[in-house]
Chain A
């Protein structure tokens, strides 16, 4: 489905006019990376959905204040950061890396730069995720089973009617392939990968 909002400016305008498609597009644009960011602070994926939902509620309530989509994004990330840090504290999570994160976020001289860096990280991962989601059906299915749904070797073997050892070999090989050319948009590459998987499945 193509979006009626051709650019960030018209998207923001639609969002400010409370048009549901614009709201949804904004939501889809930021929801997952925000959750991943929150999870990187709290270590809890479930909690991240609540934290991010609340941050969207706040942004919804202040929609007129954003002058650019970038403003809105920065607002969302800041709110999510604060809420996540609080959550971590309130849960009294004493795991070392959480403590360190909390310390870093509160003491770094350039918190905005650190935040920008985190945003870059989760947005890149989200882009990768979206590209895999958009792969041609059959290839995408294998990819998703392997890397997104993280199905076990047994499950994939059963689902694709291939033997377990083959799946294990394939997994290693797919990881290798991903490493050298994770996201060839180019369909030939994707089909090539799919072909490899099948070849070993025989």
Chain B
């Protein structure tokens, strides 16, 4: 009994969702708190000053009454009617989506923050230099290109010129098509396992079909190392940077080569190693962002199930969840900053913005409440530019833009917010007020 209570209290402190403590606080206010709940409540109160402050507020009738009065003054029904009127004019989402992408060159939606500012603030600030003066040149968007390193060290530059079967590794033929590399495993049992590495530079992206049919999308400044044929009880690959996987359930061809473990239909696990983290999957869609300059290592599951492990800690993700690893792992920029307590623990969130995570694979940038630094890190990788800051920008931005446009398009959009401006000089972008 005591054991289960402790466990509950511990889980609560690391729990992202507030629902359990909300229910307990309400029971407390109703005078219906149980002894078990009281223990959890005490642990919660001990956990942070912010928790104690909220508790004090709830126990202060004057402050509660003030908030209740505000709630009583709201015009819920009136606002609802207004929304109904809006609903009458809206364009169905599907239609809007199509139009959106069709007009790829046209500028899209920007920013919650900035637009509100612009529209409600009227007059724009005078900018000393015009955009033409500040943008000395433009920078083209990234393209499909990569370098394939074969076992033995030979390198092949992959772009639109190298087409068709480009090499043979063991019993596997490597075929290059537009922006995609395909490994075709022959029927015979592979004689030797050769490791290949596909690397994208900044400003490049590439797709890969592994010998087992699993598909991999490689973002800019990333790499994947994999065997030319999968044998044995596991399929192992390693990545750097960012990749999206659609892992195929491995079914033995024609049943003659029983690749699955004895006893039949068990799938062969697919294991991704990334920056000290291991992600184990059976057949599923997920994205891994492991860039060294990002704040955290993020694994986002779209379909199926994966198990994320680092050191002794592991968590199983459900579709729609994201595992966030900060600190202690190699090269995390803000190592440990966001994690109080155990720096190596895996945090799972239930509501990541999946569209934001998958935007790159869908040919877009999507920023939801993003800092300028986070936006510029992505731009630096995709446009292969360096970024310097003349100023600190504290505002957060919301933006949806295709990523096949020159860098100036994106910068102009951000400038519309009047919260930030830029200079372009060669491959250097300067962030100014």
Contact = CB atoms under 8 A, between A and B. Distances in A.
Interface string A26-43: 011001100110010000
Contacts of B90: 60-61
B256 to A, nearest CB: 41
Interface string A102-117: 0000110110101011
A68 B320 contact: yes
A179 B116 contact: no
24 contacts: A23-B87, A28-B80, A31-B74, A31-B80, A35-B74, A45-B70, A49-B74, A49-B79, A53-B82, A60-B83, A67-B319, A85-B395, A89-B117, A109-B338, A117-B51, A121-B54, A124-B54, A125-B64, A129-B71, A144-B72, A147-B65, A178-B64, A180-B31, A184-B31
Contacts of A85: 113, 395
Given A31-B74, A68-B351, A182-B64, A52 B79 contact: yes
Contact of B76 (A31, A57, A67, A123): A31
Contacts of B80: 24, 27-28, 31
A74 to B, nearest CB: 4
A149 B73 CA distance: 8
From B17, B29, B86, B337, name the one whose CB has the most chain A CB atoms within 10 angstroms.
B29
Given A57-B86, A79-B112, A178-B61, 16 more contacts: A20-B84, A32-B71, A63-B93, A83-B113, A87-B120, A90-B116, A109-B338, A120-B18, A120-B21, A123-B22, A124-B54, A129-B67, A129-B68, A129-B72, A147-B68, A182-B29
From A57, A129, A181, name the one whose CB has the most chain B CB atoms within 10 angstroms.
A129
Contacts of A71: 320, 351
Interface of B: 16-18, 21-22, 25-26, 29-32, 50-51, 54, 57-59, 61-62, 64-65, 67-76, 79-80, 82-84, 86-87, 90, 93-94, 96, 112-114, 116-117, 120-121, 319-320, 337-338, 349-351, 353-355, 368-369, 394-396, 398
Contacts of B16: 116
Q: How would you classify the secondary structure of chain B's contact residues: helix, strand, loop or mixed?
A: helix
A124 B28 CA distance: 12
Contacts of B394: 106-107
Interface residues on A, range: 35 or more
Given A70-B350, A181-B30, A125 B68 contact: yes
B74 A45 contact: yes
Nearest to B368: A78
A34 to B, nearest CB: 10
